[in-house]
Amino acid sequence: MDEMEEELKCPVCGSFFREPIILPCSHNICLACARNILVQTPDAESPQSSRASGSGVSDYDYLDLDKMSLYSEADSGYGSYGGFVSAPTTPCQKSPNGVRVFPPTVPPPPQAQHHLLPHTGVLPPVPRNSCLTCPQCHRSLTLDDRGLRGFPKNRVLEGVVDRYQQSKAAALKCQLCEKSPREATVMCEQCDVFYCDPCRLRCHPPRGPLAKHRLVPPAQGRISRRTSPRKISTCTEHELENLSMYCVQCKTPVCYQCLEDGKHSTHEVKALGAMWKLHKGQLSQALNVLSDRATEAKEFLVQLRNMVQHIQENGVEFEACLVAQCDALIEALNRRKAQLLSRVTKEHEHKLSVVRDQISHCTVKLRQTTGLMEYCLEVIKENDPSGFLQISDALIRRVHMTENQWGKGSLTPRMSSDFDLTLDSGPLLQTIHQLDFVQMKVPAAPILQLEECCTQTNSATLSWKQPPLSTIAVDGYILELDDGNGGQFREVYVGTEMICTVDGLHFNSTYKSRVKAFNSSGVGQYSKTLVMQTSEIAWFTFDPASAHPDIILSNDNLTVTCNSYDDRVVMGNTGFSRGVHYWEMTIDRYDNHPDPAFGIARVDVMKDVMLGKDDKAWAMYVDNNRSWFMHNNSHTNRTDGGISKGATVGVLLDFSRGILLFLINDEQQGPVAFNTLEGMYYPAISLNRNVQVTLHSGLPIPDFYTPGESEAAGSVC
């Protein structure tokens, strides 16, 4: 009931409707609010406003729509036919509930500033040339001499508001409690009584006739009660006449006098009660549909609320995962940092070791050199020539050797003080900047589009799509079918397309199909399994694509002949590998006793020789007197009986027994021609220009033949 409250409030004042009136746009407004938002227009813009106001302050019940404008082509508002014309656009303000309203552009006369005339209790007359703008759709109209009384009063809305306010006024009490009535919990619509739970169990048990009564919540029961008897409305044009009929053309209630001398005399009318019931039924039907939509909306809201919870849970989980991944990266970076620092430390220690060794070596050598120099200076000071000459040569050699030792790069540092290591952090920084989320989930299960999936003869077309809310990347799809006999699934298509036609299936077989998607992260789940049934009858025609160039086809590829004197081969467009199949060919033309051959062949049979000459065909060739069976150029089982114009040659292929036999004019020709047949075979024929035949496929098996046990259950095509 609380949801309905907004429907019961005026769009101008924001309060519950008081004396609501119905505007031509079907919106409602309080009568007092309508007076407050009136706008007075100049006389020149409203020629009809000069008419005298003859209605005064008389009461009114219904609006005569014939005297009102329904639509104005000038301003897309309500206007100039009847008593209302278009009004200029005026500045707008906001009502208490946020709806735009259009106040008067000039101060209203003093009497218009009060809702009621003094001492009368009625509304004052509306100023002439007044314009009213709907606060909801903003369409404007100018009032005629009847003023606001030209609008019908919405008695139904007024009654609903009264009942709603009464239901909110006080708590509903049980009507059967003797002392201190408890609060009511239900109301019986049939008994029209409010019950508390103890009184309901005691006085209204759910059994017997009472089991069929409908119990509703107290608030719903209260608002459905009538608070006053139904009022009888009178005609706006004829105030003494009650409204008893309904004008179908004008869609308004009318009285008998309106039908006799009014503008409705030529209109189609119906009884008011009948139309009341009819419109109630239409509204009930519309409400049923709307109720279904509301139920769907409630379920959808539950789904959205569940999604909110799931999003929150998934968000927390994803954030924790992201933090863990980043922490792992930081930890890996710290480990690498420690490794690099260890290398720097080793390099530092190595440089110090080399330099210190060089310092120690140079120090020792410099000490030796200094000692030698001091010794030589002391020798030079001696005055003994012979003694000096005895050691001078050796000293000179030692000085030169020592000097040479210092000159061989010994005064160059063995190690640079600079560190030649440069950290290459650019790629890592670039990688960090490029660090982003990638799709690492497998795709969701595709959805088979049943309206586009179908079978035709022995072909099946399947179509699918991704779930509408799925954002996971898909690299391709895998379509699988079983063998049509409940066996294992096998892949029949892998690719990016979302529609696929599979040819060469078995006739009269039930296939199961499913599809799944894949991407770089893996393969997703399968879709729902779709069961498809191929055609029961093996209809086929001759195949122009596989025919020898000398073959001539006509009659929608059912009639064949040849333009060569040599035998040429043509095959059917459908292959068989299971079931029992029977087809016939009628001899349309037969000249000069040729030898046409009828039978089956592999797809790679030779096309420029008689059927049966190679090991890819099994055939019966026949002339006007006799026939032979032939395979791999081996002729067997000569049998009397030939063909002529109008004759019929039948071919029966039974995979349940692996045999092939022939008929001429509905009689079996010779014994079983071939057996142990397995694999895929196509109907075939060879002929020359002296023969023309017509194919008849999809025929029932001849009565004399009994199929194998595996085919007797109804899988025969």
- pLDDT digits 0-9 by tens, 336-365: 999 999 999 999 999 999 999 989 989 998
Pairing assessment for the beta strands 490-495 and 499-502 based on DSSP bridges: unpaired
Quickly state the pLDDT bin for 436 (edges 50, 70, 90).
confident
Mean pLDDT of the 215-237 span = 66
Residue 141 and residue 84 in contact, taking contact as beta carbons nearer than 8 Å: yes
Mean pLDDT of the 709-713 span = 37
Mean pLDDT of the 235-256 span = 82
Tell me how far apart the alpha carbons of residues 650 and 654 are, in angstroms, rounded to a whole number. 13
Quickly state the pLDDT bin for 607 (edges 50, 70, 90).
very high
Tell me how far apart the alpha carbons of residues 615 and 601 are, in angstroms, rounded to a whole number. 9
Can you give the three-state secondary structure of 466-502, one letter per residue? CCCCCCCCCCEEEEEECCCCCCCCEEEEEECCCEEEE
Residue 83 and residue 150 in contact, taking contact as beta carbons nearer than 8 Å: yes
Mean pLDDT of the 97-104 span = 46
Tell me how far apart the alpha carbons of residues 498 and 488 are, in angstroms, rounded to a whole number. 23
Quickly state the pLDDT bin for 78 (edges 50, 70, 90).
very low
Residue 634 and residue 670 in contact, taking contact as beta carbons nearer than 8 Å: no
Residue 132 and residue 38 in contact, taking contact as beta carbons nearer than 8 Å: yes
How many other C-beta atoms can be found within 10 angstroms of the C-beta atom of residue 90? 16
Residue 536 and residue 506 in contact, taking contact as beta carbons nearer than 8 Å: no
Per-residue pLDDT for 663 more than 60? yes
Q: 321-349: string of b/e by CB count within 10 Å (b at 16+)? A: eeeeeeeeeeeeeeeeeeeeeeeeeeeee
Residue 41 and residue 88 in contact, taking contact as beta carbons nearer than 8 Å: yes
| pLDDT of amino acid 151 | 81
What CA dihedral angle connects 187, 191, 193 and 197, to 10 degrees? -60
Residue 514 and residue 536 in contact, taking contact as beta carbons nearer than 8 Å: no
In tens, the pLDDT along 49-62 reads 333 333 333 333 33
| Angle between helix 385-407 and helix 272-381 axes, rounded to 10 deg | 170
Query: What's the alpha-carbon Rg for the chain, to the nearest Å?
Result: 53
Residue 595 and residue 643 in contact, taking contact as beta carbons nearer than 8 Å: no
With pLDDT > 90 as the criterion, what percentage of the chain qualifies?
40
Mean pLDDT of the 425-431 span = 89
Tell me how far apart the alpha carbons of residues 465 and 517 are, in angstroms, rounded to a whole number. 10
| pLDDT of amino acid 218 | 81
Quickly state the pLDDT bin for 118 (edges 50, 70, 90).
very low
HSE, side-chain direction, 13 A CA sphere, residue 564:
16
Residue 676 and residue 537 in contact, taking contact as beta carbons nearer than 8 Å: no
In tens, the pLDDT along 151-183 reads 888 888 888 888 887 766 556 788 899 888 888
Mean pLDDT of the 182-190 span = 89
3-state SS class at 561: strand
User: Which pair of structure tokens corresponds to residue 306?
Assistant: 């569940």
User: Which pair of structure tokens corresponds to residue 33?
Assistant: 């609010």
| pLDDT of amino acid 108 | 43
In tens, the pLDDT along 478-529 reads 999 998 888 899 999 999 999 999 987 888 889 999 999 999 889 999 999 9
User: Which pair of structure tokens corresponds to residue 613?
Assistant: 């000459």
Tell me how far apart the alpha carbons of residues 453 and 465 are, in angstroms, rounded to a whole number. 12
Backbone torsions φ then ψ of 109, nearest 5 degrees: -60, 160
| pLDDT of amino acid 317 | 93
Tell me how far apart the alpha carbons of residues 263 and 65 are, in angstroms, rounded to a whole number. 11
3-state SS class at 301: helix
Quickly state the pLDDT bin for 690 (edges 50, 70, 90).
very high
For the chain, what is the mean pLDDT? 82
How many other C-beta atoms can be found within 10 angstroms of the C-beta atom of residue 609? 18
How many other C-beta atoms can be found within 10 angstroms of the C-beta atom of residue 376? 16
Tell me how far apart the alpha carbons of residues 432 and 146 are, in angstroms, rounded to a whole number. 79
| pLDDT of amino acid 263 | 76
User: Which pair of structure tokens corresponds to residue 156?
Assistant: 């139904």
Higher local confidence (pLDDT), 478 or 417? 478
Per-residue pLDDT for 614 more than 70? yes
With pLDDT > 70 as the criterion, what percentage of the chain qualifies?
83
Length of the chain: 717
Tell me how far apart the alpha carbons of residues 639 and 661 are, in angstroms, rounded to a whole number. 13
